[in-house]
């Protein structure tokens, strides 16, 4: 994996995207709120994915690499604390689950919030608070 310095990382992610915006389609990000198009992802950031049908699964992913258009993520192991009937809180550990590094393009919602598309929905930056989850026996 290519390694970049902290200064290079800052330079890459402080620039405005130089391609048509995936959110509004403008060329070279000439829309009014240019700030929403700035990259705000850092090495070590954690994203979470809440998904499921009939239950709520929570997966956490840590940023382990950055490219000019995307991030490289690895899934983290999770600690679940049950506090009700088949439900509880989930938080990530510092340990990685087995599996490959995934490369995902950084996307922005209308309000500028970052997300990454995954097989089941999308991820959001984790706010550091436990996430609610549920399961079946």
Answer for the pair 60, 128: CB distance below 8 angstroms, yes or no. no
Each residue's pLDDT expressed in tens, for the chain with a length of 137 residues: 444 455 554 454 444 444 555 555 544 344 444 444 454 688 899 999 999 888 999 999 999 998 877 899 999 999 999 888 899 999 999 999 988 899 998 887 777 778 888 888 778 999 999 999 998 85
> Could you give the C-alpha distances from 111 to 24, 79, 126, in angstroms and in order?
11, 31, 17
Contact 66, 113 (CB under 8 A): no
Task: For residue 38, give both structure tokens.
Answer: 């700035």
Do 44 and 60 meet the contact criterion of CB atoms below 8 Å apart? no
Q: Which residue's structure tokens are 């800052």?
A: 10
- The residue count of the chain comes to 137
Chain segment 15-49, per-residue pLDDT in tens: 444 455 555 554 434 444 444 445 468 889 999 99
At 94, list the tokens. Answer: 């510092």
**Which residue, 95, 116, 135, is CA-closest to 49?**
116
Q: pTM here? A: 0.71
């Amino acid at each position: 994996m290519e390694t970049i310095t902290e200064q290079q990382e800052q330079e890459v992610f402080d620039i405005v995207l130089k391609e048509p915006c995936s959110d509004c389609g403008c060329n070279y990000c000439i829309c009014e709120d240019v700030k929403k198009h700035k990259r705000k992802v850092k090495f070590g950031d954690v994203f979470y994915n809440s998904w499921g049908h009939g239950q709520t699964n929570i997966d956490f992913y840590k940023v382990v690499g950055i490219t000019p258009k995307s991030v490289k993520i690895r899934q983290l192991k999770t600690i679940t604390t049950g506090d009700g009937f088949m439900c509880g809180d989930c938080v990530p550990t510092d340990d990685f689950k087995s599996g490959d590094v995934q490369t995902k393009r950084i996307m922005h919602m209308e309000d500028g919030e970052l997300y990454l598309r995954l097989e089941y929905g999308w991820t959001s930056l984790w706010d550091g608070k436990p996430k609610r989850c549920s399961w079946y026996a």
